[in-house]
Amino acid sequence: MREMREAVHIVRFVPPGAVAPSVGVSDGVTITELTGVTRLGELLRLTSAGLRERCAAADGPVHDIAKVRVLPPADGHMEVWAAGVTYQRSREARVVESERAADVYELVYDADRPELFFKSAAWRVTGDGEPVAIRADSGVDVPEPELGLVVNAHAEIVGYTVVNDMSSRTIEGENPLYLPQAKIYLGGCAAGPAVRPAWEVADPYDLPIELTIRRGGEVAWTGQASTSLLNRRLDDLVGYLFREDSFPDGVVLATGTCLVPELPFTLAAGDEIIITIAQIGTLTSTVVRGKTAMSWLADDQSRRLTSP
């Protein structure tokens, strides 16, 4: 067993010269492979205690993290789900953009049952340094920086990651029933760069979040907030997600946003989105427009359900 340094992360990656993904434990400088593990979903079948033990026993090949291709923390049959209207700021933004149905968002903010919706299949999720897309049929589009819960098959929160829940304010603002079209599309979800184990984070309700959007080398928008503003308990969100559903290979649950650029701001092709959540990581994406620019996802072998 190798002694691990502080700031441990679980990483999906492609080793130099390889095609098939691997999974390992990183200290930020090197990655130690978890021998025999090819998918994150395999680890998420374990209990929290079993996962911690497996990570501590990492003894496979060691790679320089600067020389590998880091992949998003979702694979195989994993899914990404999201919660909405969990912060005061997101409630206000939804009310502003949807004049005809503002009371819907007001009511769900204080309701016992949270808003939960499917966000992405694993193969559609992009990672750090990869593109995200704005829809070609939308006029106002924004990133939504969110703390992502990495939840195992036993409904235990075993880690955290950064999620960018891309959103069309134009489409959702027309009618709340258009939410799936505003949220679920090719290039509409990014996550990463890795999973910070839950046992490494003392208080997930006190994590600063920063969003910066750069355009032409200049800052076009920036803002800061914190998970301390969250109006929901994390275990409550997980409880509702698992109430009548199951996730044998685990799931990533984005917990809602507290940073929304004010109208009429909208993303443009070429923008750089930088999301940092303290203790968790920094997720950087470049904006493209339309699904044609994201067609490479369907051919990327690292996104397949099984290794090539």
Rg (CA), the chain: 18
Other beta carbons less than 10 A from residue 228's beta carbon: 12
pLDDT digits (tens, 9 = 90+) for 78-113: 999 999 999 976 556 555 555 555 577 778 888 999
Looking at every residue in the chain, the average pLDDT score rounds to 92
What is the tens place of the pLDDT at every residue in 214-246?
999 999 999 999 999 999 999 999 999 999 999
pLDDT in tens, 154-170: 999 999 999 999 999 99
The amino acid that residue 171 corresponds to is I
CA 288 to chain centre: 18
Token output for 67 = 């020389």
Structural domains of the chain, ranges and CATH numbers in brackets: 9-71 (2.30.30), 79-296 (3.90.850.10)
Q: What is the pLDDT of residue 256?
A: 96
Using CA atoms, how far apart are residues 114 and 86, in angstroms rounded to an integer?
8
Residue recorded with tokens 């258009």: 178
User: Quick check: helix, strand or coil at residue 157?
Assistant: strand
pTM of the entire predicted model: 0.94
pLDDT beneath 50, residues of the chain: 1-5, 308
